Amino acid sequence: MKCPECGTKVSRDNAICPSCGTVLRGRVATVRCRICGARVPRGVHICPQCGRPPTLRGRVQLLVLSVLLGVTLGVGVYVAGRDYVPELRYRLGVLLIQESGMGREPVPTLMPEDTPGS
């Protein structure tokens, strides 16, 4: 099929001509492209005028899904780590004491008469 306005070959499934934007079928529901403002048939994924997505529907849904996933993951890590972190700190402290050798000999204590300046 050819467009009656510009003569471009167009598939019979197209509601508008991709070259000039002429409506090829009867009344078609349209939306305005958020970039260039052209009227685009509802459901079209790429604006024929500027070549960008005419609506934010897919991007907004992806953003909301990402935020929900991030919050869920954060809460899960917090709840799981709340019990694990104190035990990890204790084990790390014990390991540091063992590696420093402080666990083998008594720690010297200062008596008041041993302090400098007395």
Confidence tier at 57 by pLDDT (50, 70, 90):
low
pLDDT digits (tens, 9 = 90+) for 65-117: 999 999 999 998 888 877 777 778 888 888 888 777 665 666 556 565 655 55
> In the structure encoding, which two tokens stand for residue 35, read together?
């970039």
Q: How many CA atoms lie within 13 A of 72 on its CB side?
A: 6
Asked if 88 contacts 94 with a C-beta cutoff of 8 angstroms, the reply is: no
Residue 33, pLDDT score: 85
Residue keyed to tokens 């540091």: 96
pLDDT higher than threshold 70 for residue 7? yes
Residue 69, pLDDT score: 95
Residue 102, pLDDT score: 63
Residue 62: enclosing H or E segment and its boundaries? Answer: helix 57-100
